[in-house]
C-alpha cells in the first residue's frame, strides 16, 4: 500500500491551519474560510474519522481586536495579544462547530507539556479521552505563558508533536503554497512541485524556504522539520494548499494533492515518542560512516570511537541529534556525557576514558535503549 492509499484508510487525522488561512490581509478574520474548514472537518468526523485541529491565529485576531496593525516584537506584548485573541478565536470555532453539530474542546499546550514525561503522558491521555467522548480538540500553543515558544514555525512543530502524542495516522498541514517545490515558486518560474518525498535528505531540507506571510510565523523549513517528526512517529504527512476547496477530503481520498511524505512502518512506543519528539534538542553529535552504518543497520548504541565532532554546549542527560558526515539526522537520544567530555573521548575506545575524563564512566555515549532512529 503506497502513501496515498494509506491516507484513504487513515482514521485519526491531525489538521494544522496557519494564521494566513484564517486571517485576511486586512487583519480581519476570514469567516468564509473558517466556516469551510470547520464544515469539512465536521463532515469527515460524521463519516467516522477522528479529527484534531491545530490552529494558529490568536495573536492576529488579538491585534484586530484592539486595532493594532503591526505585530510587536516584544514577547510580553505578543503574550497579551494572544490572551486577547485566543478567547475570540475559540468562540468562533465553538460557534462554527456547533452549527454543524459538533463539540469543540480548547486545548492549550506548551513544550513543557511534552518535555516532562509525566506531562507528556497526561496530555496524551486527555486528548485520547476527548476523542473517545466525540469532541474535536482545537489545539494551540499556550503563547500567554510560553516565554520562549513564540518563534517561527511553532505550530508546525506543535502539530507534529500532537500527531505523535495521539498516534495519529495522518498529519495534514494546510499551507499558502501547493506543497514542496524544487525551488521557491514565487522567485523561480522553473520550480516544480514534488508530489512525494520518500526520504528527508539534506538535499530536501535545503529546498525549504524562509518565513511565511506577515501575519503567520511558519515557513517551509519548519514544515520539513514537522514532517520528520510525523513520519518517524508513524503518521503519513502531507503539505496541501489551503485555498483548494475540500482539500482535506481530497487528500484523504488519496488524490494527488500537495506533497506527501510516507510514514515509517512501525509506531514508536509512548516513551520512545517522548524521547524523540518531546524533549528539547540540546546539540548535535556528528559521526563517521562506519558508526552511521552500524546504527542504521543494527540500531547499535552510539560509541565514542565513531564520533567525529560535537556541536553545542550540552550537559549529560540532555537530548541531542546524531548526524551523519553529510548532516543527515540519523537518531536522537539522551547522552551519558557532556559536550566537553565527548570532545575529549571522541574517536577513542572506552578503555581509554578513565585517563581522559573524570566522573562515572559509561561504555556508550548514547545507549540504544535511550535512542530513537530517525532514518
Per the annotation, binding residues for ATP are 16, 175-176, 217-223
- Bridge partners (DSSP) of residue 140 are 108
DSSP secondary structure code for residue 351 in this structure = G
The binding site comprises: 16, 56, 143, 155, 175-176, 217-223
Cell of 329: 539526522
Three-class SS state of 188: coil
Pick the closest to residue 14 from 122, 127, 102, 179 (CA basis).
Answer: 127
Helix, strand, coil abundance in the chain, percent, nearest 5: 40, 20, 40
Where b means 16+ CB within 10 Å and e means fewer, 85-117 reads: bbebbbebbbebbeebebebbbbbbbbebbeee
Where b means 16+ CB within 10 Å and e means fewer, 299-310 reads: eebbbbbbbeeb
- Rg (Cα) of the chain, in Å, rounded? 21
What is the C-alpha separation between 206 and 221, in angstroms, rounded?
A: 8
- Taking residue 347's Cβ as centre, other Cβ atoms within 10 Å add up to 12
What is the C-alpha separation between 123 and 143, in angstroms, rounded?
A: 17
Q: How many helices (H) and strands (E) does the chain have?
A: 14, 12
The binding site for substrate comprises: 56, 143, 155
What is the C-alpha separation between 168 and 163, in angstroms, rounded?
A: 5
- Residue identified by cell 525549504 is 208
In degrees, to the nearest 5, what angle opens at C-alpha 338 toward C-alphas 332 and 344? 110
Beta-carbon contacts of residue 153 (< 8 Å; ≥ 6 apart): 217, 218, 219, 221, 222, 223, 225, 226
Contact 34, 96 (CB under 8 A): yes
Amino acid at each position: 500500500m503506497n502513501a496515498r492509499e494509506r491516507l484513504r484508510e487513515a482514521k485519526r487525522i491531525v489538521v494544522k491551519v496557519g494564521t494566513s488561512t484564517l486571517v485576511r490581509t486586512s487583519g480581519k478574520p476570514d469567516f468564509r474560510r473558517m466556516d469551510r474548514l470547520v464544515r469539512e472537518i465536521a463532515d469527515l468526523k460524521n463519516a467516522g474519522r477522528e479529527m484534531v485541529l491545530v490552529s494558529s491565529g490568536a495573536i492576529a485576531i488579538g491585534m484586530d481586536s484592539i486595532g493594532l496593525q503591526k505585530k510587536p516584537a516584544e514577547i510580553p506584548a505578543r503574550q497579551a495579544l494572544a490572551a486577547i485573541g485566543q478567547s475570540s478565536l475559540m468562540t468562533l470555532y465553538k460557534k462554527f462547530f456547533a452549527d454543524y453539530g459538533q463539540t469543540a474542546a480548547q486545548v492549550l499546550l506548551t513544550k513543557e507539556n511534552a518535555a516532562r514525561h509525566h506531562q507528556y503522558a497526561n496530555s496524551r491521555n486527555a486528548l485520547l479521552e476527548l476523542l473517545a467522548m466525540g469532541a474535536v480538540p482545537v489545539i494551540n500553543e499556550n503563547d500567554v505563558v510560553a516565554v520562549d515558544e513564540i518563534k517561527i514555525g511553532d505550530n508546525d512543530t506543535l502539530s507534529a508533536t500532537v500527531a505523535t502524542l495521539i498516534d495519529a495516522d495522518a498529519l495534514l498541514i494546510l499551507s499558502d503554497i501547493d506543497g514542496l517545490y524544487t525551488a521557491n515558486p514565487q522567485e523561480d518560474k522553473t520550480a516544480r512541485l514534488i508530489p512525494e518525498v520518500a526520504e528527508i535528505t539534506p538535499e530536501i531540507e535545503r529546498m525549504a524556504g524562509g518565513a511565511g506571510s506577515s501575519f503567520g510565523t511558519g515557513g517551509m523549513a519548519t514544515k520539513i522539520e514537522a514532517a520528520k517528526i510525523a513520519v518517524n512517529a508513524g503518521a503519513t504527512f502531507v503539505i496541501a494548499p489551503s485555498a483548494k476547496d475540500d482539500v482535506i477530503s481530497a487528500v484523504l481520498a488519496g488524490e494527488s494533492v500537495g506533497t506527501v511524505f510516507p510514514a515509517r512502518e512501525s509506531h514508536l512506543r509512548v516513551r520512545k515518542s517522548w524521547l524523540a519528539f518531546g524533549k528539547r534538542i540540546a546539540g548535535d553529535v556528528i559521526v563517521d560512516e562506519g558508526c552511521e552504518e552500524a546504527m542504521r543497520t543494527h540500531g547499535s548504541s552510539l560509541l565514542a570511537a565513531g564520533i567525529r565532532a560535537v556541536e553545542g554546549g550540552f550537559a549529560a542527560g540532555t537530548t541531542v541529534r546524531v548526524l551523519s558526515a553529510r548532516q543527515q539526522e540519523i537518531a536522537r537520544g539522551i547522552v551519558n556525557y557532556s559536550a566537553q567530555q565527548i570532545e575529549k573521548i571522541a574517536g577513542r575506545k572506552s578503555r581509554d576514558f578513565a585517563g581522559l575524563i573524570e566522573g562515572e564512566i559509561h561504555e556508550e555515549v548514547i545507549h540504544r535503549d535511550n535512542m530513537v532512529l530517525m532514518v
